[in-house]
DNA sequence: TACTTTTGTATCGCAAACGATATAAATACA
DNA sequence: TGTATTTATATCGTTTGCGATACAAAAGTA
């Protein structure tokens, strides 16, 4: 038995599991808004920065455009955003929030708060410090994986 | 602008990103073996513990059986494993490695080593300690999410 | 024993995620 | 100016992931 092939010795597997479990944890609240987890991420980008290109969305989410294009098309059908060809560069497609997409952020603002409650996480100083440390570790890992893989 | 809705303030997003980037990092090596990342995880389970049920696989990978059943069927077509109805309980399907599936572990044993090299991670004492600490944090998070979501 | 509930697996449909590939627009350059 | 290259997005096919549902076998119970 190779030690490095045991599931319990992997670092990759818990990341894979946590990622899916987080999506599940959001599910009920997102269902209430009629959106999926990747759609929620797209909305977060647009709420912070409206009128971006398909590539902008793909870059921020570290996804390929062939994933993002159909994702945005589904969101257009849902009436959350519009897709318009740029006039200055006709290759680009500008993604803009509709009123409906924009309004959704007020309801969505409760989601992170409710998730913390559901997980019984009280944001005291110690936990916030752990939170920040973990986030920094993850971002370092993202940089490492983006540049070397 | 709600602070809790900024992509940079999320802990969920880096987990989602890391998970996909890890899969990408494995891609080249797994392509050489003709398998995918979830298939690699199934093989790790079987190499450590042959003759398990569909539910056993689903439980260990924290996946639903409706994901695992087609996954195992594809692996059966690839000649990596067999699916046989249990004689003692006809509801159960026993998953067993074929010779081909079993042999694959010798090549696969190089994969975690090559990944470390690719990411320039030298397993010195400090890094091993960080590695273990992070793994424990992730496993606590998995327990939290499994029980409260 | 007869009926109900639970368990284990599978099927269906839809949304991701991505490699391979296509295509038009913009840019570089000979 | 004309041609090659790059850029931005889209299309297609396959695997994954999951909710809803189905169904037979096993277990529980009246």
* Mean pLDDT across B31-45: 98
CA distance A2 to A70: 41
Q: How far is CA B148 from CA A37, A71, A115, A119, B144, in A?
A: 18, 29, 10, 6, 6
Q: Is the pLDDT of residue A13 over 70?
A: yes
Say whether B144 and A119 touch across the interface (CB within 8 A).
yes
Q: Is the pLDDT of residue A122 over 80?
A: no
Q: Bigger pLDDT: A39 or B122? A: A39
DSSP sequence for A53-103? EHHHHHHHHT--HHHHHHHHHHHHHTTSEEEEE-SS-TT-EEEEE-HHHHH
- Averaged pLDDT score across all residues of chain A: 94
Q: Considering only the beta carbons, identify the residue of B62, B108, B135 that sits closest to A5.
A: B108
Protein-nucleic contacts, chain B 49-108 to strand C, CB < 7 Å: 53-55, 65-66, 69-70, 72-73, 83, 86, 89, 91-93
- A 35-74 → B contacts, CB under 8 A: 37, 41, 44-45, 47-48, 60-63
CATH 1.10.10.10 for domain A11-103, yes or no, is yes
* Mean pLDDT across A125-137: 85
pLDDT tens digits for A59-114?
A: 999 999 999 999 999 999 999 999 999 999 999 999 999 999 999 999 999 999 99
**Residue A128 confidence (pLDDT):** 78
Residue B123 — very low, low, confident or very high, per pLDDT cuts 50/70/90? confident
Q: Which of A50, A139, A103 is nearest to B13 (CA)?
A: A139
Q: Is the pLDDT of residue B45 over 90?
A: yes
CATH fold label, B9-118: Arc Repressor Mutant, subunit A (1.10.10)
Say whether A148 and B44 touch across the interface (CB within 8 A).
no
Question: Residue A89 in contact with residue A31, Cβ under 8 Å?
Answer: no
- Contacts with B62 from chain A: Cβ below 8 Å: 17, 20-21
Question: Residue B59 in contact with residue B48, Cβ under 8 Å?
Answer: no
Q: What percent of chain B has pLDDT over 70?
A: 99
* Mean pLDDT across B109-123: 89
**Residue A149 confidence (pLDDT):** 64
Q: Is any Cβ of chain A less than 8 angstroms from the Cβ of B123?
A: no
Q: Is the pLDDT of residue A118 over 90?
A: no
Q: Is the pLDDT of residue A16 over 90?
A: yes
**Residue B66 confidence (pLDDT):** 97
Residue A41 — very low, low, confident or very high, per pLDDT cuts 50/70/90? very high
Residue A56 — very low, low, confident or very high, per pLDDT cuts 50/70/90? very high
Q: Which of B67, B133, B20 is nearest to B141 (CA)?
A: B133
Residues in chain A: 149
**Residue B124 confidence (pLDDT):** 78
Extents of the domains making up chain A:
11-103
* Mean pLDDT across B103-132: 88
* Mean pLDDT across B98-116: 96
**Residue A125 confidence (pLDDT):** 77
**Residue B149 confidence (pLDDT):** 64
Q: Considering only the beta carbons, identify the residue of A19, A112, A120 that sits closest to B15.
A: A19
Question: Residue A134 in contact with residue B140, Cβ under 8 Å?
Answer: no
CA distance A73 to A95: 10
Q: Is the CB of A39 under 7 A from strand C?
A: yes
């Amino acid at each position: 038995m190779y030690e490095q092939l045991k599931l319990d010795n992997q670092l990759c597997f818990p990341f894979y599991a946590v990622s899916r479990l987080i999506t599940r944890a959001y599910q009920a609240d997102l269902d209430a808004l009629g959106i999926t987890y990747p759609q929620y991420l797209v909305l977060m980008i647009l709420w912070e920065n409206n009128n971006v290109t398909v590539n902008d969305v793909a870059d921020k989410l570290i996804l390929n455009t062939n994933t993002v294009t159909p994702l945005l098309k589904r969101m257009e059908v849902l009436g959350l955003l519009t897709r318009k060809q740029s006039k200055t560069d006709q290759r680009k497609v500008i993604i803009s929030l509709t009123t409906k997409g924009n309004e959704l952020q007020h309801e969505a603002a409760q989601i992170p708060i409710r998730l913390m409650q559901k997980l019984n996480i009280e944001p005291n100083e110690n936990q916030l410090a752990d939170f920040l440390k973990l986030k920094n570790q993850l971002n370092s890992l993202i940089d490492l994986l983006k540049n070397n893989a």
